[in-house]
Amino acid sequence: METLLTAFLLILGFSAAEVKENLTAIVGGTITLPGAVTEKGFIKYESITIALVFKGELDIDVNIYKNKLQWNRSSGLFTITNLQKNDSGIYTVQKGEFSSSYKLQVYDPAPTPAVTPITVTSDPCLLICSVDKPATLLWIRDKEIQNQSRSALSLPVTVHKEDRNSSYRCVAANPAENKTVDVNVTTSCWLSKTEDSDSKRNYWIAGGLCIGFIVLIGFGFLLIQKKFLGQKSSGSQTQGRYLIIYSLRFIY
């Protein structure tokens, strides 16, 4: 009875408060409201009182918050866990005659970006940053934004050789969080010295093999031609001897 009476008096003393702060969070995440209640007070979602604090004890009135709402006795702060999009709205923390309201917006997690080189070993080099759902994309070189786009699925950036030692990263962001992928432009856009040497060596080896193969074929062709001509010459000499013998027999 005393608890109900206290709650009734608190509600009577409650006056609508302006939103003090805008808060953001992601689905599945956690948010702690800045307003504190140490001994007695309550928390509301929109116009519904969801929990009451009295004599240092928390009493949750709305079932869906029984496993979602926590109260820290030491700090007096309320924490909402396992957030979903339908948890977005205005929360009011009432302590005596003082109240603070907070507007919470719950977003999907920001997508993880992936970077793909479009042109390699060329100047300039083109890189593409892509995500699987729309987000704000930014290309940052060192601390300077090179390119950006809102609600995009992909975003290109051009890297010149003189900038190969700079730090490049692609950021995918929404109002609640951002995710970043760092890019080593030297390995993504240009062959290293070792790779370049290996490439040249492989090129010369392949070229030498091709030339050797061509020479071998030519040499084989010459041998075949020489043998063929030799057989043809031998056949002609034999036919000539037969003609001479036949002529002599005819004379005699």
Tens-place pLDDT, residues 19-56: 789 999 999 999 999 999 988 999 999 999 999 999 88
Contacts of 77 (CB under 8 A, 6+ apart): 32, 33, 34, 35, 36, 71
E strand intervals along 46-143: 48-54, 57-60, 69-71, 77-80, 89-95, 98-107, 114-117, 125-141
pLDDT score, position 229: 56
Question: Are residues 152 and 136 in contact, defined by beta-carbon separation less than 8 angstroms?
Answer: yes
* Residue pLDDT, tens place only, 153-184: 999 999 998 888 899 999 999 999 999 999 99
> Splitting the chain (252 residues) into consecutive groups of 10 residues, what average pLDDT does each group show?
43 56 96 93 95 93 94 95 96 91 96 90 86 96 95 94 91 96 87 45 55 63 61 51 43 44
The pair of three-digit structure tokens given for residue 151, joined into one six-digit string:
């609600």
